């Protein structure tokens, strides 16, 4: 359970416009503000900047985190169209950490906090079990900063920690989307001959299930054919560096 400081509590202005998006969204993106904001006053200044200078309808992000206090703030919230990740807004939410993580360090506590928020939102039915990636994966930007971007796999491992009391099945036959593609790419990284017919197509079908079983068998895991927390963590070890780091 993550306590979230709602809009009223941080003194948000009313949005100019508000549109809804279907839940759960297939994608979840990580951002930083690239500034030095903190706390509720930081939330108000980010919102003012986005509405008054950028001319947007509201603060851009779905949820924001204070890098030091680790407080979680409601931005636009769940199920509301954001303005964070160009081209992906109607199918995603965004978590943004206040700070500039091209230069600021990222604490283990912050990594844990982001992971908690990811897991919380997944349990609420808002978004997938893991971050899809960082803003730079889909846009020419350094966001969310090198230091935070480099922790995404760790955040995702902690978000799906099999010690969690919740049912920890992450993905199974019939699922589709970027998270599926990420694990299919990892399967190819483990065994280049895997997924011979369909490759990393983002569809978790029978071929993917067969190769998840092969992977689990080869690693002495329970052979379920579903990507649970343990399988997810091991698979991510094989994910090739598939990201263009150029800004
Ligand atoms: Zn960003």
- Domain range summary for the chain, segments of one domain joined by +: 4-159, 169-236
Contacts of 59 (CB under 8 A, 6+ apart): 12, 43, 46, 47, 50, 51, 75, 76
Of 144, 111, 118, nearest to 32 by C-alpha is: 144
pLDDT, residue 175, reads: 86
pTM score of the predicted model = 0.68
Reported confidence tier of residue 193, pLDDT bands at 50, 70, 90: very high
Task: Look at the domain 4-159 and name its fold.
Answer: Lysozyme-like (3.40.80)
User: What pLDDT score was predicted for residue 230?
Assistant: 80
Alpha-carbon distance of 100 to 85, in angstroms, equals 17
Which two structure tokens, joined as six digits, stand for 236? 């991510």
Ligand 1 center to residue 224 CA distance, Å?
A: 36
The contacts of residue 233 (CB under 8 Å, 6+ apart) are: 157, 160, 162
pLDDT of the residue at 159: 94
Question: What is the CATH code for 169-236?
Answer: 1.10.101.10
Answer yes or no: is pLDDT of 229 > 70: yes
So what's the pLDDT on residue 246? Answer: 38
% helix / strand / coil in the chain, to the nearest 5? 35, 15, 50
What's the 2 CA to ligand 1 centre distance in angstroms? 23
CA of 108 to the centre of ligand 1 (A): 21
Residues 78-88 have a mean pLDDT of 96
Which residue carries 């919102």 as its tokens?
47
- Average of per-residue pLDDT across 108-117: 94
Q: Cα separation of 223 and 8, whole Å? A: 48
- The band of 169, judged by pLDDT with boundaries at 50, 70 and 90, is low
Cβ neighbour number for residue 213 with a 10 Å cutoff: 15
The answer, yes or no, to whether residue 166 has pLDDT greater than 50, is no
Provide the mean pLDDT of the chain: 91
Helices 229-236 and 206-218 cross at an angle (nearest 10°) of: 80
> Tokens in use for 144?
């969310």
Determine the distance separating the centroid of ligand 1 and the alpha carbon of 135, expressed in angstroms: 5
């Amino acid at each position: 359970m993550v306590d979230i400081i709602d809009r009223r509590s941080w003194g948000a202005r009313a949005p100019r416009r508000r549109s809804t998006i279907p839940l759960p969204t297939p994608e979840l993106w990580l951002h930083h503000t690239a500034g030095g904001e903190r706390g509720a006053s930081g939330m108000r200044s980010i919102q003012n900047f986005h509405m008054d200078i950028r001319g947007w309808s509201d603060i851009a992000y779905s949820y924001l985190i204070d890098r030091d206090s680790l407080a979680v703030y409601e931005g636009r919230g769940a199920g509301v169209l954001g303005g964070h990740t160009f081209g992906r807004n109607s199918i995603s939410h965004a978590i943004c950490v206040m700070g500039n993580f091209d230069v600021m360090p990222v604490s283990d506590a912050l990594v844990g906090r982001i992971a908690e928020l990811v897991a919380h939102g997944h349990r609420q039915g808002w978004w997938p079990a893991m971050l899809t990636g960082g803003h730079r994966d889909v846009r020419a930007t350094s966001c969310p900063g090198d230091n935070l971007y480099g922790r995404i796999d760790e955040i995702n491992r902690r978000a799906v920690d099999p010690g969690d009391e919740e049912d920890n099945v992450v993905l199974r036959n019939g699922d589709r989307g970027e998270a599926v593609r990420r694990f299919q790419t990892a399967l190819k990284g483990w065994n280049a001959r895997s997924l011979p017919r369909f490759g990393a197509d983002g569809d978790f079908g029978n071929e993917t299930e067969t190769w998840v079983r092969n992977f689990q068998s080869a690693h002495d895991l329970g052979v379920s054919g579903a990507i649970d927390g343990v399988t997810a963590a091991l698979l991510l070890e094989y994910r090739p560096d598939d990201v263009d780091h150029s800004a």
